[in-house]
Protein backbone atom coordinates (compact mmCIF):
# COMPACT_ATOMS: atom_id res chain seq x y z
CA UNK A 1 0.00 0.00 0.00
CA UNK A 2 1.52 3.38 -0.97
CA UNK A 3 2.31 5.76 1.88
CA UNK A 4 0.12 8.45 0.35
CA UNK A 5 -2.94 6.18 0.38
CA UNK A 6 -2.28 5.18 4.01
CA UNK A 7 -2.03 8.88 5.00
CA UNK A 8 -5.45 9.54 3.42
CA UNK A 9 -7.03 6.63 5.32
CA UNK A 10 -5.57 7.80 8.66
CA UNK A 11 -6.61 11.41 8.06
CA UNK A 12 -10.12 10.31 7.13
CA UNK A 13 -10.33 8.14 10.27
CA UNK A 14 -9.19 10.99 12.54
CA UNK A 15 -11.65 13.36 10.88
CA UNK A 16 -14.51 10.95 11.52
CA UNK A 17 -13.43 10.45 15.12
CA UNK A 18 -13.20 14.21 15.69
CA UNK A 19 -16.66 14.69 14.16
CA UNK A 20 -18.12 11.95 16.37
CA UNK A 21 -16.58 13.47 19.52
CA UNK A 22 -17.88 16.91 18.55
CA UNK A 23 -21.40 15.55 17.95
CA UNK A 24 -21.50 13.73 21.30
CA UNK A 25 -20.23 16.78 23.21
CA UNK A 26 -22.76 19.00 21.43
CA UNK A 27 -25.60 16.74 22.51
CA UNK A 28 -24.37 16.77 26.11
CA UNK A 29 -24.21 20.57 26.19
CA UNK A 30 -27.59 20.95 24.47
CA UNK A 31 -29.24 19.17 27.39
CA UNK A 32 -28.19 22.02 29.68
CA UNK A 33 -29.62 24.81 27.51
CA UNK A 34 -33.02 26.20 28.40
CA UNK A 35 -35.05 29.29 27.71
CA UNK A 36 -35.92 31.17 30.87
CA UNK A 37 -37.79 33.96 29.13
CA UNK A 38 -39.87 33.65 25.98
CA UNK A 39 -40.57 36.76 23.88
CA UNK A 40 -43.77 37.00 21.84
CA UNK A 41 -41.85 37.94 18.65
CA UNK A 42 -38.46 38.89 17.23
CA UNK A 43 -39.17 42.33 15.78
CA UNK A 44 -41.73 44.85 16.88
CA UNK A 45 -42.79 47.61 14.51
CA UNK A 46 -45.58 49.98 15.42
CA UNK A 47 -47.34 52.83 13.58
CA UNK A 48 -45.94 56.36 13.81
CA UNK A 49 -49.12 57.68 15.40
CA UNK A 50 -48.62 55.46 18.48
CA UNK A 51 -46.12 56.20 21.22
CA UNK A 52 -45.92 52.67 22.61
CA UNK A 53 -46.81 49.03 22.05
CA UNK A 54 -47.21 46.08 24.39
CA UNK A 55 -44.84 43.12 24.15
CA UNK A 56 -45.51 39.78 25.81
CA UNK A 57 -42.62 38.36 27.87
CA UNK A 58 -43.16 35.04 29.63
CA UNK A 59 -40.90 33.69 32.37
CA UNK A 60 -40.95 29.91 31.90
CA UNK A 61 -38.81 29.14 34.94
CA UNK A 62 -38.79 29.75 38.68
CA UNK A 63 -35.65 31.89 38.41
CA UNK A 64 -35.53 35.67 37.98
CA UNK A 65 -34.09 36.96 34.70
CA UNK A 66 -32.74 40.36 33.68
CA UNK A 67 -34.05 41.60 30.32
CA UNK A 68 -31.99 43.96 28.15
CA UNK A 69 -33.77 45.87 25.39
CA UNK A 70 -32.52 48.08 22.58
CA UNK A 71 -34.37 50.79 20.70
CA UNK A 72 -32.97 51.95 17.37
CA UNK A 73 -33.19 55.60 16.41
CA UNK A 74 -35.84 56.11 13.71
CA UNK A 75 -33.38 57.92 11.40
CA UNK A 76 -30.89 55.06 11.36
CA UNK A 77 -31.39 51.63 9.79
CA UNK A 78 -29.49 48.94 11.69
CA UNK A 79 -29.96 46.22 9.10
Beta bridge partners of 61: none
Q: Output the CA torsion 18→20→21→24 (10° steps).
A: 160
Instruction: List pLDDT tens digits, range 39-71.
Output: 887 788 888 888 888 888 888 888 888 888 777
CB 4 within 8 A of CB 28: no
Sign for the pseudo-dihedral over CA of 3, 9, 11, 14: negative
CB 65 within 8 A of CB 37: yes
pTM score above 0.85: no
Instruction: List pLDDT tens digits, range 6-19.
Output: 555 557 787 888 88
Cα separation of 20 and 34, whole Å? 24
Amino acid sequence: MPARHLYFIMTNTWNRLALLIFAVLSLLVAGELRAGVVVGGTRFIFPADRESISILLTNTSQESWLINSKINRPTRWAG
